[in-house]
Structure 1
Amino acid sequence: MDHARKAILNMFGGEPLSYTRFSLARQPDGDNSHVEMKLSAEDEEGIENGVIDHHHTRTVKPRNNNHYLCFVLTVAVLIFLIGFLIGYLSFRGRMQATKCEDGVELCSGYQCTTESIKDESVEWTPEPVLYWGDLKSKLSDRLKSASFIDKIRKVSSTTHDAGSTGDEILADDIHEQFNKFKLDKVWNDEHYVRLQAAGGTANAVSLEDPSEALEKPDTYVAYSECAEVSGKPVYANYGRSEDFRELLKKNFNLSGAVILVRAGEIAFAEKVANAKRLGAAGVLIYPDPVDYRSLGDGVSLFGHAHLGTGDPFTPGFPSFNHTQFPPVESSGLPRIPVQTISSSAARRLFSSMNGPDCDAAWKGNLPVVYKLGSDSSGRNVKLQVSNELVEKKILNIFGVIKGFEEPDRYVVIGAQRDSWGPGVVKAGVGTALLLELARSLSDMVQIDGYKPRRSIVFASWSAGAFGAVGATEWLEGYASSLHLKVVAYINLDSAVSGSKDFRFSASPMLKTLLDEAVTGMKVSSADLRSVLPSKEVVFRVDDTAFPFLSYSGIPSISFSFNDGGKQYPYLDTSVDDLENLLRTFRSSPAQLENMIRAAAEIAGRMALRMTHDHELYLDYQSYNNKLRDFIGKLIPYRKEMMNLGLGQQWLLVARGDFTRAMAALTQDVKTTDLTNRAACRALNDRMMKVEYNFLSPYVSPKDTPLRHIFFGSGSHTLSALLDHLSLLRTNKSSFSEDLFRNQLALATWTIQSAANALSGDIWSIDNEF
């Protein structure tokens, strides 16, 4: 330091004006960076007198010393000291460590061992970075210790109907386990909803003239109209729209008839709505052995008939407190009595019919001649339904792993908790998956060092058996913000009921993510994609993922392993137990565990990918293809539309603007620094809005909750527009020009609005309107 001082003095041609002492002696705590600066009052006095004391040795200061040089040197020394102190404090900040359970001190960005501190020689090693390949391996390792069957057995060991004591006990247990997994926050969401239960008088089905009881089932169909009706029986296959069209072609009178349909293909609510539309008096639903193999002939099904989701007595708004809302009902309620019966009762009903035989495609596997119905001389069937409407408190249970960069953006993983009967596949499998995923992903954060950019929310829903009531009420309760925050929803309900086939229902934006998740996965030492070719199926209205997509505009996905694509025969029955599920896997618990573990790994990979990357893994380009397909179906009707004075120009322009907006977003992704948090968040927000912007803004969420123009329900949908337009060729008298003009205009503006929103700021919008 003396040499430096002399050099400075020589440079400026002067002598030192003061003395500053730096003590570099090692301190007792091992810190050798302590700085001691001494500017004594005596030194200052010496300066005043023109004399400086160097360790009590005074030197007479030359009278001609330049005061300017004194000032410059003092400022330089002070700047040096300030810089040195800042560096020192920064270094000390990095040295602040927290103790790990294994005794290792973790420093910010580094690791140091207790031994290195004792030796006063710190060894620094970079904190490991978890890349995508690392995450997949760690997830797989964590899931190897999972015990799914034990959790399934516990869930199904007691009854847990929605809102029952058993349901609440199970909810408390899940809440406790979420806390045990050390999730960042665990909370409950409480709702008061109206459900239907079996009445004091058993429902009954019988034949008239003479009276003959067919069955008094121990099951019921929730939200059925409570009434007594009688009419001629008519068989309508699966009760699909095309099935009823076939009956109309054969000149069957469906008005006042009691329709018999077999379960499967579409939801109960859709079957009933189709029958009601044609004037049916009631509906009977039975499980045919061709679809429900191994199910006993005396077993009937449980289900619901509400063509919608959530509490049908608070449509479009949440059931937090019924007393605050007017008495309204969903338009999706059936308004006619509905009842399920066993295959044995259906066989006797077929035997009573005297009409024409069915076509081969409509025949099931009952030991009876399948008839289409009865003529005027045939016997009527009588249906009595006496269900009771009850109010129940239900609980949704949530736990969250908070993101490190964007905690207000999250992926939701959910499973239904309640069930009618044991519900091993219906609720047990999904709940076991939910709990083990929560444990595994939490361990990856707390132990393996994964730091998700975004949050992961785990949700246990109640009243799912009544039409995703718990999930829908949550969506309705926080509708103003969830579409801005939830990146995607992954549904775990009934994820495993077999091992021969893999099927899924998904928003187009999540298909690429699913493809990524199953790539490279092994099942029984074979590649998943080669052994179990995936097949997409249309969302059913009773799928919990459906309201996320069609009501809230959130990309959603459901998937399942099953046997040959057929519905699991014991689902929604009193025999949906662990014994029957194991029988499906040849009584091999190990094989069942492997399939459930594979399902957990698929869901876990999807959640990790959505929280790991800078850019959201959303295939927004997929909707460009959906629009192209729609336009392709519309173009053949160009001549008919021109005859009405309508063109397709503006719809084509809207679609073109959407395509250009997609291209602009893709270009922005390529040219933006995704490590810039603000810029990356802005891009991701544009991607998240794609799904939401396909909710029609021209229909009321109260009157038409399922507003999605691709996946919703109502005249605002693109499929309804095409169906209505097709009447110009098939039934012109039923075509309404005013209705079609309205449909065309609103569809065009919905697509144009989606294009405008995707473009970004208003000065980026360029269209011909």
Structure 2
Amino acid sequence: MDQMRLAFNGVVKSVRYSRFPLQPTENGESHLEVKLSEDGAEEFTDVEAEGSPSFRPAPQNYSRHSIAFLLLGTLLIFIVGYLVGYISHSKPKVESLNCSPVTQAPVAPVTQAPVAPVTQTPVAPVTQTPVAPVTQAPVAQPAEVEMDFKNISQLLARKMTREAFQKTLRDFDKPGRSAGNDEDMSLANSIFDEFKKLEMDPWTDIHYVQLPIPDSQNPNKVQFGSEDFSLTGYLAYSATGRVQGKLVYGNYGRKEDLDIVNKNKVELKDCVLLVRAGKISFAEQVANAEGRGASAVLIYPDEADYNYVADTVLYGHVHLGSGDPYTPGFPSFNHTQFPPTQSSGLPKIPAQTLTRSVAVKLLQKIGGPEPDETSGFKGGFKQVSYRLGGIENITLEVNNKLVNKEIHNVFGAIKGFDDPDRYIVLGAQRDAWGSGYARATVGTSVLVQLAKAFHEMVENDGFKPRRSLVFASWSAGEYGSVGATEWLEGYMASIDKKVFTYISLDGVVMGEGGFMASASPLLYSLLETTMKEVNSPVGAGTVYKMAGTTKWEANVMRPMTIDDPAYPFLAFSGIPSVSFHFIKPNSEVYTYYGTQLDTVDQLNYETNNQTNEITAIAAQFAGQMALHLVHDHLLSLDVNRYSKTLTKAVGGVYKHIRLLSQDLSPSWLNRARGSFQRAAMNLYNDIANTNLDDKEACRILNNRIMTVEHSLLSPYVSPVKVPFRHLLFGRGSHTLASIAETTDVDELHTQLALATWNLQGCANAMVGNIWDLDEEI
């Protein structure tokens, strides 16, 4: 061995300067040229070299024995190294018996492979490689966690109990809760804390708005003849000032009522119009009077419509719109200074409410002609004849003042598992003029109890909603959905792409024995389904049976009016919306809204002391609709239900144009309606031919459905000047209802063209592929 080592070292030392031996040339210098042969071996060629020979080593001579020892030594070293490595790796390691199969499993196949036949029998991790799929079981088997809808529905119903609401209703019943005051803020904090306990990641949306209030130092007044009346109630957003004019009685202040006044030759211009509350909103009454040239409006509750005591005070607002009217079209964030502008819905004339006792005194002295018996002008006061007036002067003084208020909207969310960026909103206002029990307490209680129920179902019962639920508590609802509208304005650019339904919880309980609702046609089918699934709060059967199974739409559905809390969502933002109410049969209003009589005792009287039970049913009804919307693969929005509404509206335009002008044809509008119906039919054909277990396919279909409502907002009007842009349910010259009344032919021509393309654009939005667009128009 020593001899081989010496031979090897001698060779290494002899070649440390050059890998290749150099042969001397004739002049004593050597040069080596290296070439690559075709087979990849190296070839060497001696050529003459230049340069100093001092850097070249002296030639060495090697014996055959040295070369042999070198080769044998190299081979021996290789063999010894291999044996050492083999023995070291073949020794069993204690670490390999570690009981962590997840971490050892990937290592075992690499290091143990060479000795598997000898050493693997005691090694547990090798046999544990199938353990990995066990940890993946919940992901690989989603069907195990998807609950049947019937079971979910029953689970929700069990949580909506009378006992649950008995405590919640008591907790949220406050004597005063005016928007922005201490009680309102305290309630907002309570709801925020409740959402926080439910781990709903609550947040607050803050706005700074201008709200009118009476001036306690300078009250509103009415002077008629020798009598002066100081008035307690008021109408928010009324113009201020002192006006005088002839007192004229105008029934409910509807357009047809004012036509009757004109037919009796009573002058409306510059008059002070006295009307009774009901049929239409305060804002519409004032707008109609202003349109006829009246200088002021007085509104009172007639005995035929309201069972009040003589001195019951009325509160309300007269803004023909929603939101803060001093920042129309944009949100009131952080005292941001926008250009000085006002909503087009603000009245320019003063308006004021009266008590019954004051109204009787005015009507007894009004004078003037008596209306025809068939006119419906006669009210419930037996001591007055309801003459039309126009004889005696009256003076009204309104001194309301504007105050800046900070209002808080409070939100909590339960996120969906498949499409968390798609969500429904359930909302309720929490402010009121007084106690506001039916107006605010009930809705807020339903909101919180539903949030608790859905949270428990997700956390404890295995329910996994596909889409998200957002629970919203609004402030300043009494002033015209101010809090809700400011939120919509603040996120106008994106909110319609995410919110696919709004469910209003305001006024869900007004009495017992009856049921009514207002909604986008997209939600009619869902309403019908829910009515058949939820038990009636009175007697046996379902809500559907209680409402009357024949012609249920005629019995239940009502047009959504401007004072409906869901209206801004539908007509301003293009979000399918619904509001519903359990109410006394043959009644459509809760007459105690806007008064100090909206109390727990009054609502218990209206519900025959069944308020808690009916509230639980109302909560179940709202929750059942929400379940369908967040659980079903396909959105529960029925596009085909718009066909009847569109056909009726287009028919009205057809009839009007045929009577007005022979040179103008509405046929293009009818073709656009046909395009809408064909697009809806094609959408349903695509649904029928789609595997609804395919999440991505369902999302594409749902996106097409979600475009419908928003596409019916007119893109040709400004949300600042015309906030309610909906083609069918909005307000303004762009709507089909307005077109059916327009007498200016040039204006009619323009609006007809814009409405036609608005409707065609909605049809195009429903189409899945651009190459499938309907070209018939």
Question: Is TM > 0.5 for Structure 1 vs Structure 2?
Answer: yes
**TM-fit CA distance, 1:447:** 1.1
> Unaligned 5+ residue runs, structure 1?
1-16, 45-51, 57-76, 96-106, 111-124, 725-734
TM-score relative to the length of structure 1? 0.83
Q: From 622, 631, 642, give the equivalent of 2:641.
A: 622
State whether residues 418 and 464 of structure 1, in contact with CA within 8 Å, keep that contact through their aligned partners in structure 2.
yes
What is the 5 A alignment of 1:102-117? none
The counterpart of 1:683, out of the listed 688, 691, 701, is 701
Matched, 1:348 2:370: no
Provide closer, same or farther for how the CA distance between residues 94 and 259 of structure 1 changes in structure 2, counting only shifts above 3 A.
same
Q: Which amino acid aligns with 1:648?
A: P
CA distance in 2, matches of 1:546, 1:623: 17
Note if 1:556 corresponds to 2:571.
no
Q: Please show how residues 444-523 of structure 1 align to structure 2 within 5 Å.
A: 444-522=457-535, 523=537
Structure-2 separation of matches of 1:193 and 1:204: 27
Aligned match for 1:583, one of 580, 605, 611: 605
Residues 317, 473 of structure 1: 8 Å contact kept? yes
| Cα drift, residue 254 of structure 1 | 0.3
1:442 is the counterpart of 2:459: no
Residues 207 and 489 (structure 1), Cα distance of their counterparts in 2 relative to 1, 3 Å cut: same
- Other-structure match for 1:369: 384
State the Cα distance separating 1:55 from its structure 2 match: 5.8
Please, which moves more after superposition, 560-569 or 477-486?
560-569
Please state whether the residue corresponding to 1:682 is helix, strand or coil.
Answer: helix
1:663 partnered with 2:681: yes
**Hey, what's the Cα distance between the residues in 2 that align with 1:160 and 1:151?**
17
SS of aligned partner of 1:484:
coil
Matched, 1:157 2:170: no
Task: Measure, in 1, the Cα distance between the counterparts of 2:287 and 2:143.
Answer: 63
Instruction: Give the structure 1 partner of residue 214 of structure 2.
Output: 198
Deviation, structure 1 residue 337: 0.5
Q: What RMSD, in angstroms, separates the aligned Cα atoms of the two structures?
A: 3.0
Aligned counterpart for 1:315 among listed residues 314, 319, 328:
328
Q: 1:497, CA displacement in angstroms?
A: 1.5
Is the contact between residue 249 and residue 389 of structure 2 (CA under 8 Å) also seen in structure 1? no
* Residue of 511, 526, 550 corresponding to 2:540: 526
Deviations 1:600-630 (A, max 9, x none): 0110000010000010000111222222112
Instruction: Show the counterpart of 1:673.
Output: 691
* SS at 1:280 equivalent: coil
Q: Which moved more, 1:283-292 or 1:303-312?
A: 283-292
Query: What secondary structure does 2:231 align onto?
Result: coil
SS at match of 2:425: strand
Give 1:632 deviation, angstroms. Answer: 2.2
Give me the whole-angstrom Cα distance separating, in 1, the residues matched to 2:235 and 2:247: 19
| Offset of residue 21 of structure 1 | 12
1:181 has 2:223 as partner: no
CA–CA separation in structure 2 for the residues paired with 1:54 and 1:192: 79
225-234 or 239-248, which deviates more: 239-248
2:632 maps to: 613
The residue aligned with 1:701 is 719
- SS of the counterpart of 2:627? helix
Tell whether the 8 Å contact from 1:287 to 1:300 is kept in structure 2 after alignment: no
Aligned residue identity for 1:747: A
Residue 343 of structure 2 is aligned with which of 330, 334, 355?
A: 330
State whether structure 2 residue 769 is matched by structure 1 residue 765: no
Candidates 431, 436, 442, aligned match of 1:429: 442
CA contact (8 A) 1:241 1:274 kept: yes
Corresponding residue for residue 138 of structure 1:
155
Please say which of residues 518-527 and 217-226 is displaced more in the overlay: 518-527
- Letter aligned with residue 367 of structure 1: K
- C-alpha displacement of 1:367: 2.6
Over residues 271-299 of structure 1, what are the superposed CA-to-partner deviations in whole Å (9 max), with x where a residue is unaligned?
11000000011111111122112x21111
2:590 corresponds, among 556, 562, 568, to 568
Flag the 1:721–1:482 CA change in 2: closer, same or farther, 3 A: same
1:169 is matched with which residue?
186
| Contact map agreement 1:291 1:566 (CA 8 A) in 2 | no
Q: CA deviation at 1:544?
A: 1.5
Matches within 5 A, 1:283-298: 283-293=297-307, 295-298=308-311
Post-superposition Cα deviations, 1:632-681, rounded to whole Å, max 9, x if no partner, equal 223334644652x2222211221121111111111111111222222211
- Where do 1:743-754 residues align within 5 Å? 743-754=751-762
Work out the CA distance in 2 between the residues paired with 1:518 and 1:708: 27
Partner of 1:14: none
Cα distance per residue 1:578-603 (max 9 Å; x no partner):
122222234x3xx2111111110110
Which residue does 2:238 correspond to in 1? 224
Aligned counterparts of 2:763 and 2:749: Cα–Cα separation in 1 = 21
Partner residue of 2:31?
Answer: none
Q: Which residue of 1 aligns with 2:276?
A: 262
1:150 deviates by 3.1
Distance 1:695 1:38 in 2: 64
Q: State the match for 1:237 in structure 2.
A: 251
1:736 match = 744
Alignment-derived partner of residue 9 in structure 1: none
Distance 1:191 1:537 in 2: 32
Counterpart of 1:646 in 2: which secondary structure? coil
**DSSP 3-state at the match of 1:192:** strand
Q: CA deviation at 1:108?
A: 5.8
Kept in 1: contact 2:656–2:740 (CA 8 A):
no
State the secondary structure of the residue aligned to 1:503: strand
**Match for residue 90 of structure 1?**
132
Worse-matched range after superposition: 466-475 or 527-536 = 527-536
Q: Which amino acid aligns with 1:192?
A: Y
Separation in structure 2 between the aligned mates of residue 407 and residue 630 of structure 1, nearest angstrom? 36
Call closer, same or farther: CA 1:207–1:764 in 2, change over 3 Å: same
21 and 621 in structure 1: CA distance in 2 versus 1, 3 angstrom threshold: farther
Contact kept in structure 2, 1:496 and 1:562, CA below 8 Å? yes
Match of 1:302 among 293, 315, 318: 315
Larger Rg: 2
Structure 1 position 145, deviation (Å): 6.3
Equivalent pair of 1:20/1:38 in contact (CA under 8 Å): no
Give 2:617's aligned residue.
598
- 1:713-745 deviations in Å (ceiling 9; x for gaps): 110010000012xxxxxxxxxx31211111111
Report if aligned partners of 1:405, 1:453 keep a CA contact under 8 Å in 2: yes
Q: 1:685 to 1:389 in 2, by over 3 A?
A: same
Q: Distance in 1 between matches of 2:185 and 2:638?
A: 39
Q: Which of 537, 540, 547 is 2:568 aligned to?
A: 547
Q: Distance in 1 between matches of 2:413 and 2:658?
A: 55
The question of 1:147 aligning with 2:175 is answered: no
2:664 is aligned, of 642, 646, 653, to 646
Taking every aligned residue pair, what percent have the same amino acid on both sides? 41
Pair 678,362 (structure 1): closer, same or farther in 2 beyond 3 Å: same
Equivalent pair of 1:206/1:382 in contact (CA under 8 Å): yes
Q: How far, CA to CA, are the matches of 1:22 and 1:753 in structure 2?
A: 75
Contact 2:513 2:538 in 1 (8 A): no
